[in-house]
Structure 1
Amino acid sequence: MGTPLGDFVRAKRDSLQPESFGLPDRGRRRSPGLRRSDLAARAGVSVEYLTRIEQGRDRNPSHAVLNALADALSLDARERNHLRYLAKITGGACPGHRPPAPPNREVRPTVRETLRLLEPGMAFVTNRLGDVLAYTSAFELVMGGIGLLDAEAPNLTRYVFTDPRARTVFPDWDQVADERAFDLWLGPSAEASEWFQVQLAPVAGPEFTRRLQQHLPPPQVALRLDHPAAGELRWHREKLELPSTDAQELVVLLPADETTAQAVERLRHGRPLRAVG
């Protein structure tokens, strides 16, 4: 049985082309990407040891090995952070670890007050699982129109993978789905992420489970939204991590163009702003 760390190393290795490292093309092979022997040589470890890591038989590689793998795979800063995080949760995934449990959904009063000060802007509080915990009235106005807030406990990840409307609402659905699956590895805790994955996998199907094993940080791009009433909206996203919380973050959506700003104003027209959700 594999591990998150092993899955990541294997996925990243498969995504690399030998010629990008000045290695010769050795003809057709059964799997794409960099050969295990080439990666082992670049990292200065044995092929047998790299195999144990990828297959989940070694769960506690040293920091030196992790750094060597990061260099050998040419990881960027975000990917290096993710590699270290996966090593941490993989090393703790042994018998006796805490059972899966949902995260705390409480939002601090000072954070709710911060949202109030952001009115009439588009902002919300979420966690890495995708729970929508609090939001401004503008967020309610826009996202309520796509059905995201229909559930008693709205969750963006669940909406993306299980609501048929999501594929129409998000023109770049694959990008958004990759983002949501990747963020689960950075959840409030390994136990909370495991709890959520267990809940979602049966209803989300292979589109979800396949992405869970990719482990490659998706690129940061503008969010496109095909709104049923306002047309295409484009947003830049600023994410601020909140200290001393269960991996909560404050996300501010900024119009990426004048068309989006004007469309939101038209939605607002004639409707008073409401309190934070």
Structure 2
Amino acid sequence: MENTVGDFLRSRRARIRPEEVGLPSHGRRRVQGLRREEVAQLAGVSVDYYIRLEQGRGGSASDAVLDAVARVLGLDDVEAAHLRSLTRPSRTAAVPRGRQQVREGTRLLLDLMPGVPAFVLGRRMDVLAWNALGDAVHGFSARPSGEANAARHAFLDPAAREFYPQWEAVAAETVAYLRLDAGRHPDDARLAALVGELSVRSEEFRRLWADHQVRQKTHGVKLIRHPLVGELDFGYETLAVNGSADQLLVVFTARPGSPTAQKLALLASWTAEGAPAESAPAEGAPEREAPAAAD
């Protein structure tokens, strides 16, 4: 059985050089980075206590202890929150069995933003809904049934490496976000199945998953090589959908007058020439007719 908290802590102490925390680095060291007893000493806890924490038996650890360990290991805010999730997992919230539902008001909001590519990202990196320009950029509606998942697309679609010129960065970001999701929802069987599928089918995913990186998806840049208009250089902003747990509104932006903005305008005009594109329906809602393809 995987000891996630132990693997995470070992990966983090392995990246700390002793001299970085004021310890001598000379002499033979059997482990890379800090030893468990060194972390315990610097955090002000007993060695036995820290060992129990690495063994996944630290459910009663106080905030002060976890904060001290996070300080010694140089964890950022996201990693420190991840450590708390792993150490004291919450198992009270119900895990949705199927795809999450998207409120009608959220789908309407997507359609009222015709000038920017936008979509709703849910649990396990499922893409739940999108607007016309979001579809024109990412091709969500053209993917096979069940493939509207950002992680599957990144690792299992042969065209993904062409679509993302900076594929290595996209892949690392994707796995780090899934790791964060897994820490928050340890009982999610569908997430475990997704991780298992990607681990079996992608060597790159297995390598990145074993690295135990965690990262929030808040904002950043994304370079896309579109099959029709060429390279698109986006910024993106990620906003929580209040009232809909674990749903994020992802909006791609381009500076006015930039080459990317001009190409977006072209894509928007092509989309407008066909039938109005609709966002993806919520679970249980009737399927809507796909937009006509542009000539």
Task: Please indicate the TM-score interval, normalised by the length of the shorter structure.
Answer: 0.7 to 0.9
SS at match of 1:120: coil
| Equivalent residue number for residue 123 of structure 1 | 118
Question: Deviation at 1:80?
Answer: 1.9
Aligned mates of 1:100, 1:127 — CA distance in 2: 12
1:100 and 1:119, CA in 2 relative to 1: closer, same or farther beyond 3 A?
closer
| Equivalent residue number for residue 162 of structure 1 | 156
| Equivalent residue number for residue 214 of structure 2 | 217
Instruction: Kindly indicate whether the alpha-carbon contact (under 8 Å) linking 1:11 and 1:214 is maintained by their aligned counterparts in 2.
Output: yes
SS at match of 1:190: coil
1:127 and 1:99, CA in 2 relative to 1: closer, same or farther beyond 3 A?
closer
Instruction: Kindly indicate whether the alpha-carbon contact (under 8 Å) linking 2:5 and 2:55 is maintained by their aligned counterparts in 1.
Output: no
SS at match of 2:100: coil
Aligned mates of 1:148, 1:201 — CA distance in 2: 25
1:245 and 1:3, CA in 2 relative to 1: closer, same or farther beyond 3 A?
farther
Deviates more, 1:180-189 or 1:222-231: 180-189
Aligned mates of 2:209, 2:95 — CA distance in 1: 17
2:278 alignment partner AA? A
SS at match of 1:56: coil
Aligned mates of 1:270, 1:98 — CA distance in 2: 44
Deviates more, 1:40-49 or 1:212-221: 212-221
1:27 and 1:167, CA in 2 relative to 1: closer, same or farther beyond 3 A?
farther
Aligned mates of 1:68, 1:82 — CA distance in 2: 14
Aligned mates of 2:141, 2:278 — CA distance in 1: 18
Out of 180, 196, 199, which is 2:174 matched to? 180
Aligned mates of 2:78, 2:229 — CA distance in 1: 34
Question: Deviation at 1:60?
Answer: 4.2
Aligned mates of 2:152, 2:39 — CA distance in 1: 36
Alignment of 1:1-277 (within 5 A): 1-27=1-27, 29-89=29-89, 92=91, 102-144=97-139, 149-153=142-146, 154-184=148-178, 185-186=180-181, 189-192=185-188, 194-202=189-197, 203-218=200-215, 221-255=220-254, 258-272=258-272, 274-277=277-280
1:116 and 1:15, CA in 2 relative to 1: closer, same or farther beyond 3 A?
same
Q: For residues 44-92 of structure 1, give each alpha carbon's deviation from its aligned partner in whole angstroms, at most 9, with x where no partner exists.
A: 1223332332233444433232111112122222222222222232x75
Gaps of 5+ in 2: 281-295
Question: Deviation at 1:2?
Answer: 4.0
Could you tell me the TM-score, scaled by structure 1's length? 0.83
1:3 alignment partner AA? N
Identity among equivalent positions (%) equals 35
Instruction: Kindly indicate whether the alpha-carbon contact (under 8 Å) linking 2:78 and 2:214 is maintained by their aligned counterparts in 1.
Output: yes
1:259 and 1:98, CA in 2 relative to 1: closer, same or farther beyond 3 A?
closer
Instruction: Kindly indicate whether the alpha-carbon contact (under 8 Å) linking 1:101 and 1:191 is maintained by their aligned counterparts in 2.
Output: no
1:274 and 1:247, CA in 2 relative to 1: closer, same or farther beyond 3 A?
same
1:254 and 1:102, CA in 2 relative to 1: closer, same or farther beyond 3 A?
same
Instruction: Kindly indicate whether the alpha-carbon contact (under 8 Å) linking 1:160 and 1:177 is maintained by their aligned counterparts in 2.
Output: yes
Q: For residues 182-237 of structure 1, give each alpha carbon's deviation from its aligned partner in whole angstroms, at most 9, with x where no partner exists.
A: 22232684333x42232442343443234334333348641121222222222212
1:6 alignment partner AA? G
| Equivalent residue number for residue 290 of structure 2 | none
Aligned mates of 2:201, 2:102 — CA distance in 1: 27
Aligned mates of 2:159, 2:177 — CA distance in 1: 21
Aligned mates of 2:15, 2:141 — CA distance in 1: 33
Aligned mates of 1:249, 1:152 — CA distance in 2: 22
Gaps of 5+ in 1: none
Could you tell me the TM-score, scaled by structure 2's length? 0.79
Aligned mates of 2:106, 2:96 — CA distance in 1: 24
CA RMSD of aligned residues (A): 2.9
Instruction: Kindly indicate whether the alpha-carbon contact (under 8 Å) linking 2:177 and 2:215 is maintained by their aligned counterparts in 1.
Output: no
Aligned mates of 1:46, 1:22 — CA distance in 2: 19
Count of residue correspondences? 269
